[in-house]
Amino acid sequence: MKNPVMTASGTFGYGEEFSDFIDISRIGGIIVKGTTLHKREGNPYPRMAETPSGMLNAVGLQNKGVHYFVDCIYPRIKNIQTHIIVNVSGSAVEDYVETASIINELVNIPAIELNISCPNVKQGGMAFGITSRGAEEVVKAVRQVYKKTLIVKLSPNVTDITEIARAVEAGGADCVSLINTLLGMAIDAEKRRPVLSTVTGGMSGAAVKPIALRMVWQVAKAVKIPVIGLGGIMNARDAIEFMLAGATAIQIGTANFIDPTITLKVIDGINDYLERHGFKSVHEIIGALEV
Ligand SMILES: Cc1cc2nc3c(=O)[nH]c(=O)nc-3n(C[C@H](O)[C@H](O)[C@H](O)COP(=O)(O)O)c2cc1C
């Protein structure tokens, strides 16, 4: 990777939507929207709610399915000069396996990020990510068919995230990313109704950062594979904190909605920090937290 800064799935479209604002090839990697075997309409509206220092979403993995991705989206994005990584979701092990094997054939996609942690779909995603057995089972099955870099995205909605991280490492993951959104809820007191159509939704943004940082620190100590940190990164200082806690790379999600140029500002800010402190490379700050 040219730098450790990536965009988080579901917050940066397919990358091309942002090319009017920035040179997207400067970003270290773009993780595209959650992709499933079959088309998904997503959840009914309303599916967004603002919260103090964050937001709740219940988009529900709206996408046109992997075949549409291969035929219509891949040809448009395959020549973007950075790593394009596909986030893969499913509601059954077989769905994950079939989707991953189709994407395995795409020459310009060097990795997938397996989403076993989406809290916003009734049957899928998170169900696999909240038990060690479920997580290991799906990762093992995908590992059989997916030959390139396999990143597994972990759910924070668990008691001990290190247990799940160890299970996916045992299943054959090359790398873990964390965190996905935290399960939350908003109520409109005047209407005495939930704000989101799904009642509960996934919380993200600045407010989740301390939780994400703690989990990244714990997981980085628990596994040997690289850790990608995300959750509430709003600026370069936040990104550096995740790297000090042990993240090899980071992703930026909700912050893209506030400032579409944030990724480049974070890249420049990390370089500035390295220079100010006399470090030659980001490798010198990964896991460098002194406790
Ligand atoms: C609107 C929205 C859509 C998202 N869609 C996905 C998705 O399709 N797949 C996935 O793994 N994570 C998805 N996420 C979770 C983010 O990738 C990220 O894990 C989370 O928002 C925490 O990072 P942040 O605080 O920087 O946003 C979504 C988040 C938001 C806000």
- For 194-250, write each residue's pLDDT tens digit: 999 999 999 999 999 999 999 999 999 999 999 999 999 999 999 999 999 999 999
* Of residues 240, 251, 252, 245, the one with CA closest to residue 282: 240
Mapping DSSP to helix (H, G, I), strand (E, B) and coil, where does residue 160 land? coil
* Of residues 168, 73, 181, 174, the one with CA closest to residue 118: 181
pLDDT digits (tens, 9 = 90+) for 57-67: 999 989 999 99
Report the C-alpha gap between 264 and 267 in whole angstroms.
Answer: 5
Which one-letter DSSP state was computed for residue 71? Answer: I
Helices (H), 105-258: 126-129, 132-145, 161-171, 209-222, 236-244, 255-258
- Whether pTM > 0.75 for this model: the answer is yes
Q: Does the C-beta of 54 come closer than 6 Å to ligand 1?
A: no
Query: Domains of the chain, with CATH numbers?
Result: 5-285 (3.20.20.70)
In ligand 1, the atom with minimum distance to the C-alpha of 204 is 25
pLDDT digits (tens, 9 = 90+) for 135-145: 999 999 999 99
72 is catalytic: no
Would the pLDDT of 121 be above 90?
A: no
Which one-letter DSSP state was computed for residue 156? Answer: S
Query: What's the average model confidence in pLDDT over 180-192?
Result: 97
Q: For a substitution probing ligand 1, which of 154, 180, 235 has the most ligand atoms within 8 Å of its CB?
A: 180
Report the C-alpha gap between 287 and 291 in whole angstroms.
Answer: 11
Whole-number Å distance, alpha carbon 12 to ligand 1 midpoint, is 9
Q: Does the C-beta of 230 come closer than 6 Å to ligand 1?
A: yes
* Ligand 1: residue whose CA is nearest its atom 23: 231
Whole-number Å distance, alpha carbon 230 to ligand 1 midpoint, is 9
Whole-number Å distance, alpha carbon 10 to ligand 1 midpoint, is 5
Return the number of other C-beta atoms located less than 10 Å from residue 92's C-beta: 14
Q: Does the C-beta of 153 come closer than 6 Å to ligand 1?
A: yes
Which one-letter DSSP state was computed for residue 155? Answer: P
Q: Does the C-beta of 256 come closer than 6 Å to ligand 1?
A: no
pLDDT digits (tens, 9 = 90+) for 12-70: 999 999 999 999 999 999 999 999 999 999 999 999 999 999 999 999 989 999 999 99
Q: Does the C-beta of 181 come closer than 6 Å to ligand 1?
A: yes
